[in-house]
Structure 1
Amino acid sequence: MHSDKPVSMDTYANNEGVLKGSAKTFGNLIETSKNLPTTSSELGTILLSVNEIKKRAHDLRKKAKPKGDHTRAHYLLAGSGLAIQDVELSLNNLKSRQLIEHNVTNRETDGDLDTYLRTKKDENILSSIEQSLTSAAKDFDNFVNQTFNLDWEQRKDEVRENFGIILKKRRGNDYGKDSLPHPDYPSWGKSGRGILDGDSRLNVNENFATRTKFERYAKIINGFNNARQSGYEFSLAKEISETFSSSAEQAGRQLPEAWSIIEHAQNSTDVVMSSRTFLEKQFLNYVDNLYKKNLNEGLPTNVNKVKSFIDYKLKNPNNTWKYGNLTIVNGVPIWAFIFYLLRAGLTKEALEVAIANKLSFKKVEQSFLTYFKAYATSKDQRLPNEFVSRLHTEYNQHIKNALDGDPFRLAVYKIVGRCDLTRKNISSITLSIEDWLWFHFMLIKQDVSDDDPVYEKYDLKDFQTIVTSYGISRFSSTYLHVLLLSGLYELAVQHATSINEIDAVHLAIALAYHKKLNISHYKSEHDSNLLSEEDGRFEINFAKLLGNYTKSFKFSDPRIAVEYLILIALNGNKDQIEVCHESLRELVLETKEFTILLGKVNRDGSRIPGVIEERHSLLFLSDEQDFLHRITEQAARRADEDGRVFDSLLLYQLADEYDIVIRIVNKLLSDLLSNTDLNQPLLNLDDNNETSPVLIAKKLINVYVNNMEISRKVSSKNKETCLLLLKVVDIRRSFYSQNWQEALSKVEDIDVIPFIDEVSSRRKAQEFSSLSPEIAKNIPNLLIITMTCVSNIVAQLNQSEYHSASKDQQIRALRRLAKSCMIYAGMIQYKMPRETYSVLINLEVHL
């Protein structure tokens, strides 16, 4: 027992001096303690309460050696610079000071049980917080070590791949673990072979005129695809020609005539015959228009129109003939007359003119009528073999080198007998480019055989060689027409690209549709050649042409982009079909216009198809659903990787991956519940069915549960998780409204928090690891909600003026519930955020 006798002032003074010496000693000790291990070491921290120090000191005193034996202390303090005697003196002084303070305050703490219990509880709280902090620090260190222990060479390769740098994959036994991507799926960061990433700089939205042309063409292509899908005829060339016939932009350009050539040749497989008849009709139209401007006497027959043209073409202004050695019969140059009738395709009329004027033929020309009649009446307008050698003999002896010969007679003989093919031009007659083309087509023989003499061999390929050797410098603004009429369609497309890329693309589409184009295999976007030559024939990279064009509007007009990309498979070639499908995948992944391209899902779960599905019959699909599923699933994975959760939800629904949909929704809902402050509402006024996880979950679970076909595709665990999370939403709503009793009842209903006793707490703690991550993530908030509800209900009961046994019983029950929760929380505290346990302890303190 301490004495109650007052302490004198002298005693205070004496003790004050002693304390100053002790303070200096302990100051040195504190300074030396800086050499002890810090909190960053593996030894942990030293944080003991005063009572704990007192208890341990008492235990040490019991085990201490006799007084004066400070051997171990000497070892401990050897490096501190302190004498053990000074430390002992300081400890004795500290005892004296403690004794003085006890006498002054007149308190006996050893017997103060309440103070001890309160202190013990504070120590437990501090200890829990310290353990949480230490555990969190260690967890963080482990996380950093695991996360950033990277293979930097692998990371470098991934980065290079993401930027499109091609890497040579390690195969076989290089490392034993390398795996190649599935060939059906584009690699991460890329969308395939880059069909839509060409080198074209075209921008269809550059100006009003370009945009207008683009839209007019797009309308035609849409109608073209509609016709193909419905199975009715559609003349693409005619439609385009008529659409742009009145366009000011097309006036004076090569394209209108080009479309007329294609339209004329669309159903013909004979280039020579088709081009020849086109040129003949073109010439006859010209003659007809000229006749209308210069009306002459007589009936407007074709013969009279050609006669009028000759007067216009071959006469000088002074009414003399331009050629002095023409054979004139009744005021008409007879051989020129026959020549231009043939030029207009009027072979029958030319024969009639020859017969009517046979008496005017010279002696050396008398047999010509026989040859010409045989020629004009033959099926293919070819001179029969029995007359060929005779005509050639007469030509070589009398016609070829005649000094005063009619140049048109020479031309007619060459046409009828295909004479002297070593010299295919008639230098003495001025011919237009169209006349020159027609003349060569008249000389070409398609069925050349090995038995034919070399000097009589002249086929289409020979003529094409002449055209390409001349090039654009010889034909100038008519080069496109010459290429088309010569059957050099690939060169025509390439040349048209230099004139106008939009027109060239549609020229190629029309030619491909009519099977006029040789189409090459598409390799990659790095293959910059639009035109190539393979085995002596030109080929056009049709997929690249369409890909380049589509690139310019794939973001602004994805629906129209589909209309063009499906044309890659226009000819049904297997390689082109594959490229077409790949281009559509690229379009989906790059534009992310999933609703337009792939469709959407109605409120009742039904699907509305996108434009790709609407055009499925034009895609040559062996399995439509498999293609759509694959393209949709790939897009869904890409959206998921990019963090576009709502896009991935739509796409997984379109791909019928309903279990994945529910799993994503559960994660969204769980994140919302766990990350939203308990004092904040889960739903805002501006939330809608497309962005709110709560509303999305309600809508989907309603559809999936009620639709048996869909429900079978969703795992029961994911459905149960979703339903439970929606119940947690209801709990949060009641909690936010401060309906404590209602919220507590709802927590009890979901049966994830122990409400009974310590046994249930242990059982629930054991079951914690088997909970889905989405539910486990929300256990901390549910514990806080439960403890908060209990705390508020107990407070309300305590504030009540009525006292009864049932009230006391209710309070005890609530405290038992709180105790169960705290036992449960203590068992799983390291699986919860570190602040959760502290919050729970604070709530328990106020019960």
Structure 2
Amino acid sequence: MKNVSTIKEVGENSTVMFGATNNSLNTSSIGTNNSILSGESERTLNKPTSNNGAVSSSNGSNTSSKLLKDLLESANNLPKPSNSDLGSIHLTLNELQWKSDSLRKRRDNDTNNFTKAHYLLASSGISAEDIENEINSIKLPSKALETQQTHNAISGNIDSYLDAKKDENILAAIEQSLLAASNDFNKFINENVSIDWKERRDELRTSIGLSSYKIEKPSTKPLKWNRNKPGDYKVLTPLTNQGSSLKNLTRDKFESYAQIIYQLNESRLENKFFPLAFSFEELTKSFSDLKARQVSEAWRIIIELTDEKSTKMKLEQSFFDLYQPDKPENLLVFKKQLLMKSRSYLEQQFYNYMDEIYTKDDKKEKYATPTNINKVSYFLEKIIKKNNANLFENTLNVNEVPLWALIFYLLRAGLYQDALSLTNQNKDLLNKLDKNFPVYLQKFIDNDCIGLPTDLSERMALEFNQQFSFINDDLKGSFDPYKYALFKVIGKCDLSRKKLPDEINLSIEDWLWFHLSIINEFNSNLYTTSTLVFENYTLENLQKKIIQLGPKKFNASSNNPFYLRALLLVGLYELSVQYTFEQINEYDAVHLAIGLCYYGLLRTRGSDVRDELIITSSHGSYEINFSRLLGAYTRFFKISDPKVASQYLILIAMSNGGKDEEQISKCHEALRELILVSREFNMLLGDLNQTNGNKIPGILEKQRALISLPNLNDFYQKIIESAAITCEEEGRTFDALLLYQLCQEYDTVVSLLNKLLGEILSSTELDKPLIDAGNYENIQGEKSPMNTIENNVILLAQHIMKMFSNNSFILDTINVSKKQTSDTLLSIVEIRNLFLNKNWNDVLKEIEKLDLIPVNTSCDLLEIRRLAEIVHNNLDDSLIRVIPSLLIMVLTSVSQLNYSILTKQYQILSNEKDEISRLKSIAKNCMIYAGIVQYKMPRETYSLLINLEASL
């Protein structure tokens, strides 16, 4: 029976091969085994055997071989099963081995009569009885030995299966982690790095001696970081067209301006009147430089326009509705008011000039009485006549004073009633040619010096044409230029010529006053207008003329530059801010913009081109990028003086009437940037009582109504919580925790702490302390602790949870399960200290209290499964991460305790034997638990658990 034993041996070898085959090699392994079995069978069946063998001749071998071949061919002709459409079964080789053993046992217990199989074999010429006799003649091992071998094979195969399954899980986890890391890296590169491939191509062509597609090689780098990422702020950065600097801004000036801004915000908060323009005017006039004088005069113009000195009403946004370009009716009313106020300013300035000349001269006997008419008469004699002696040869004189010139300069000085009294006193002189002039002047004054009613305007125009229609440059000296000027100003006559005779030597201020006086666009039913385009003159026409002339014409006198004032006097407020920003200095431009914005005299917008100071709107009007202007200004002191910076940034929400959602959003964004970059959370947002967590509000919370967030929850959400989220995204964990506390998101605080504790406990080596108890020496040589709540998450978590526990209000807002998770994690911190100090029994006792690991020896399989289901279904991710370290601490403690008993010098006592049994039971439970949980632990961790258990 040598040949039979050989077949059995080959069968065993093939079985071994099945057991050792990998899942990934199922098909090829089975094919290999079949070929080995067939080949080896043929070889062994053809071998000569001993005389006592069952097969003794080659004929017998050939017959048997032929029978087996016929059997295989017949098997191919068997009918296909009806369930062939079920698909292939995907099992590993170990699973197939186990399944085949189960089927074999079932077959051994099955007593069914395979009659149909017998008939099928008989039809093919095979005797089933002969084959059965042959098989029964094979000597089988004893039943006990077979059972033991089967058990060993199954046990070995199960271990192999578990090892293979573990390897598969580890490889899948590693592959998933690598894929996620790759995707994250690619996403980060796409978002943060941009490469100009065309430019890179040109550089490569140039480097190898080929001509580039570009004419000139650019100086820019091909690799650059994208903007607008976390930490790249949008508002608190310089403007691209930075035309001036803050080098002249001393600390005293800075603090003086900041004090006014703070007082402004406090007054706004209390809804009180605040003289902003007057405050700035008082401050700037205290400086002696030329630029400061320009700005001081600018504030005087604003004071004149707003009547700030004479009113005690709150003036915030008082002109906003009138100044809107999309409301032409309101805008016309504003233009009229602007015209009157600007002329009044120029007239008062001229009067002060004449009065100063008059006062300085002690030898003015003829005009000793200080009346307005005497002052003007003195001015005519000492200034006008002195510069042009022949000017008054052909004029109407009153007491040797030219009447028309006297009336003109009375109007120029704003002395309208004096001019009217003088005219009425000299009616007899005027009766000849100009008897209607007193009427014209009276009606002009009655109509706020804007113009004449239509009928009088037409009559005065007719008289003008009769007297001056043929006037030209060749007729100089043949008419009175001041009478000509009065007809122009009062009657708006012949506006096709918007100039006065050259004999009247106009200063820049005189020129602007005259052009303001001949504007005739107001109220067509009452005031002078014309259907002819060239006979109309609007404020917009004057604005365009001033822009066309530019600063060079208006700043001809270096001691008295006038362009800034001209822009303000004609209502070009946005251009005045731009000019101040580029030509005077940045800080005055910022405060001028704030003042204009406060009164509603500045059109603002968060520009699409975010680095541009001024843009043109769809209405054709200018707009200032107010948020960027203030944000750029604070860049110099946002770190050193964040409180001051916050007061400026609050004002962004004031623009556009304080109701513009875009501007309010810009304000919130700017404040969040300030909070993040300055990290002055306590000053800006509030402080926390370190005992019970109660909050003391900061300056922004007190002034939240100024940024359109009167509701406290809205303030928390849009300012503090948004900043906290940004901190968390940027990895600024400690800042995020503090900000979440300040906005009373206590549940989020606990969640974040749990996440951080889980990361630290799972990533820190067990033989390393979580808190370094050492000290370090600072610059001053003082000893300070290495770890504090400012730099150690463990200490911070312990401090925060203790603080929360002292406040019942806070505890009520925290999710119970999150609080339990936090308590468990902090308990694990203490267990780690016990483990580090090698208190093995205490480690096991404390871990048992956690009710996470089956440390209790009374745990049966059901209890272990219950704990595993908690991990799968209910356990927080932070706790799941520390399960491996807990298992290692348990098995390490068990191993150490077991070793200490085994290495005792004397004989082990019975109670110590019980202890060893208990320790082994704990280790066994933990390994079963680890197998059920199937937690994706690192290979080293799992190997360590196995080695620790094996050492018992």
Name the TM-score class by shorter chain: 0.7 to 0.9
SS in 1 for 2:857: coil
**Does residue 658 of structure 1 match 2:727?**
no
User: Aligned runs of 1:298-697 on 2, under 5 Å?
Assistant: 298-316=368-386, 320=389, 323-356=392-425, 363-365=432-434, 368-369=437-438, 371-373=440-442, 375-376=444-445, 380=449, 387-398=456-467, 401=471, 404-427=478-501, 428-449=503-524, 452-454=529-531, 457-476=536-555, 477-499=561-583, 500-519=585-604, 521-522=605-606, 524-525=608-609, 528=612, 530-532=614-616, 534-535=618-619, 537-550=621-634, 558-571=642-655, 573=657, 576-585=660-669, 587-589=671-673, 591-593=676-678, 595=681, 597-599=684-686, 601-603=688-690, 604-621=692-709, 623-626=711-714, 628-685=716-773, 686-697=786-797
Q: Does 1:788 align with 2:863?
A: no
Residue 660 of structure 1 aligns with an amino acid whose one-letter code is T
What residue number does 1:750 align with?
850
Q: CA deviation at 1:353?
A: 3.5
1:314 shift after superposition: 1.6
Query: Residues 175-198 of structure 1, C-alpha deviation per residue, up to 9 Å, x if partnerless?
Result: xxxxxxxxxxxx994799955567
Kindly indicate whether the alpha-carbon contact (under 8 Å) linking 1:276 and 1:442 is maintained by their aligned counterparts in 2.
Answer: yes
Q: Distance in 2 between matches of 1:676 and 1:704?
A: 27
Residue type matched to 2:662 in 1?
E
Q: Secondary structure at the match of 2:814?
A: coil
**Equivalent pairs, count:** 725
Tell me if the contact between 2:460 and 2:491 (Cα under 8 Å) persists in the aligned partners.
yes
Any conservation in 2 of the 1:421–1:458 contact (CA below 8 Å)? yes
1-structure distance, mates of 2:244, 2:511: 38
Cα offset, 1:282, TM superposition: 0.8
Q: Cα offset for 1:537?
A: 4.3
> Deviation digits for residues 635-689 of structure 1, max 9, x if unmatched?
3333333222223323333444333322221121122222223222222232222
Separation in 2, partners of 1:701, 1:198: 42
Q: Which residue of the partner structure matches residue 66 of structure 2?
A: none
Q: Percent identity?
A: 37
Tell me which moved more, 238-247 or 540-549.
540-549
Counterpart of 1:271 in structure 2: which amino acid?
A: L
TM-score normalized with structure 1 length: 0.73
Is the partner of 1:483 in helix, strand or coil?
helix
1:41 and 1:429 mapped to 2: Cα distance? 109
CA 1:365/1:248 → structure 2, altered by over 3 Å: closer, same or farther? Answer: same
Q: How does 1:131-150 map to 2 (within 5 A)?
A: 134=167, 138-139=171-172, 142-143=175-176, 146-147=179-180
Q: Which residue of structure 1 aligns with residue 777 of structure 2?
A: none
Distance 1:379 1:809, change over 3 A: closer
Cα distance in 2 between the residues matched to 1:640 and 1:206: 35
Q: List per-residue Cα deviations over 1:1-56 (Å, max 9, x = no partner).
A: xxxxxxxxxxxxxxxxxxxxxxxxxxxxxxxxxxxxx9999569xxxxxxxxxxxx
Partner of 2:938: 833
- Checking the alignment, whether the CA contact within 8 Å between 2:284 and 2:292 is kept in structure 1 is no
Residues 1:228 and 2:252 are matched in the alignment? no
Corresponding residue SS for 1:316: helix
Specify the alignment match of 1:292 in structure 2.
359
Amino acid of the residue matched to residue 740 of structure 1? W
Task: Provide TM-score, normalisation by structure 2.
Answer: 0.66
The Cα offsets for residues 292-339 of structure 1, whole Å up to 9 and x where unpaired, read as: 33233424343333233223312338x956654454443433332222
SS of residue paired to 2:616: strand
Q: Following TM superposition, by how much is the alpha carbon of 1:434 offset from its aligned partner in structure 2, in angstroms? A: 1.0
Paired with 1:562 and 1:203, the residues of 2 have a C-alpha distance of 24
| Alpha-carbon contact 2:520-2:538 (below 8 Å) kept | yes
SS in 1 for 2:520: coil
Query: What's the offset of the Cα at 1:719?
Result: 1.5
Deviations 1:338-386 (A, max 9, x none): 2212211112223334455556668334554454455556665755666
Q: Which amino acid aligns with 1:784?
A: I
Instruction: List per-residue Cα deviations over 1:213-255 (Å, max 9, x = no partner).
Output: 5554333222222211111111222111111112244447532
Gaps of 5+ in 1: 1-37, 45-59, 70-119, 166-186
RMSD: 4.7
- AA aligned to 1:415 is V
Partner of 1:702: 802
Alpha-carbon deviation of 1:279?
A: 0.8
Structure 2: distance between partners of 1:335 and 1:464: 30
Return closer, same or farther for 1:399/1:43 CA change in 2, 3 Å cut-off.
closer
Query: What is the match of residue 277 of structure 1?
Result: 344
Shift of 1:265: 0.6
Counterparts of 1:135 and 1:414 in 2: how far apart (Å)?
100
Hey, what's the Cα distance between the residues in 2 that align with 1:374 and 1:208?
Answer: 51
Q: Are residues 203 and 743 of structure 1, via their aligned partners in 2, closer, same or farther at CA, if it must alter by over 3 Å? A: farther
Structure-2 change in CA distance of 1:325 and 1:666 (3 Å) = same
1:530 touches 1:544 (CA, 8 Å); kept in 2? no
Deviation at residue 511 of structure 1 after TM alignment: 2.0
The verdict on how the C-alpha distance between 1:430 and 1:129 changes in structure 2, with shifts beyond 3 A counting, is same
Change (3 A) 1:753 1:457: closer
Alignment of 1:238-249 (within 5 A): 238-249=278-289
Deviation of residue 127 (structure 1)?
8.6
Residues 241, 612 of structure 2: 8 Å contact kept = no
**2-structure distance, mates of 1:316, 1:809:** 128
Separation in 2, partners of 1:762, 1:597: 53
User: Offset at 1:430?
Assistant: 0.5
Q: Deviations over 1:81-125 (max 9, x none)?
A: xxxxxxxxxxxxxxxxxxxxxxxxxxxxxxxxxxxxxxx9xx99x
Q: Distance in 2 between matches of 1:359 and 1:573?
A: 56
Residues 188 and 600 of structure 1: CA distance in aligned 2, closer, same or farther (over 3 Å):
farther
